[in-house]
Chain A
């Protein structure tokens, strides 16, 4: 498109197929997906488990390669993992042999753009930002799952990435912790101005966090629908928004789409079992 500024992240006609065994045909996981993401946006990939949304995010992160198509970040093709693209995983997200502050310092360890004093300042800054002041010396096995995910977020932010890739980071947490962290992520997002891709199968989480939601189909993944949450909900959100009528309506509409998809996935799985 001439005239329009290029998007910050451009996923261009990406397809991915896995071949577990050379004797069997490759399994298509992602089918020709194109997405454009602007700087500072929080985009959610929503879809059933095993649909390929995580794979697409990992391709953006350079942790996996696309079979066809490419991903551009700031005009440059992604060729591998780098400090530019930070990852937060659901489990094994922080290092058990390091305490909270050393886990956060780890994110700064390989930065050569700042000096030691600045690194220490940043480590404290991110410790504060995620509300873990006072827990510096705790080993991560001694703190709750929610705190562990906050450590992971602080460490990833400390590395100074342009893009934050979050793979169901709150999936293993209880409801209270999840609500709390969702709200915190919204605050962090606005103060840090990061571009975030957030993968989840939780519709409510998706609606609460997202500027835009991409609903993925069952495997092979295609985009069923793009939902512009930012058009109906304000950028700044609190838990009260979860009780609003707009929120309910949007959530229910998306649930309708995902339910139909889940049923289809199940049928595919059953078909696969029956034929094998």
Chain B
């Protein structure tokens, strides 16, 4: 029987593989459903964890996970990445919210001989146990929130126009690189006071 080999292969594939499952348009196969507790909003996408140097707000490292993974999962990979790139020995204490306050994370910080100043569960909420230390930690920690806010305003952080985990990672990497690049440029052109505001850097003399 003369059979078109293309048809045979296509038919076989249709039956025996899941790859031909085309169906309705599938936007981003790697994006997952997550929940943003701060915004009280569920979303489909990814979660980007960054490590910010406290004083001047440059980004030291970043990690992208699907949105359905908990924040704490990014902590150890970030520590290992910083160790690999030689940043870890040069940094001081670790601050973060209570999502990162797990036994595993604290053990890793102990292993790398880093001081853990992550908010404990007792230090969170309206009536924290150690009010003074909680306030002190909050004051340092809150800087990272402004980094995200400025990233959103100046670098369109918070949404991506590409699909697939790999492309999103590249896009996020470019965003944080862009943040550090213009931070450095502001120093080079003697306008370090405008390091955070791209608008002033770009449009004001």
Q: Do A and B bind each other?
A: no
Hey, which bits of chain B sit against chain A, CB under 8 A?
Answer: none
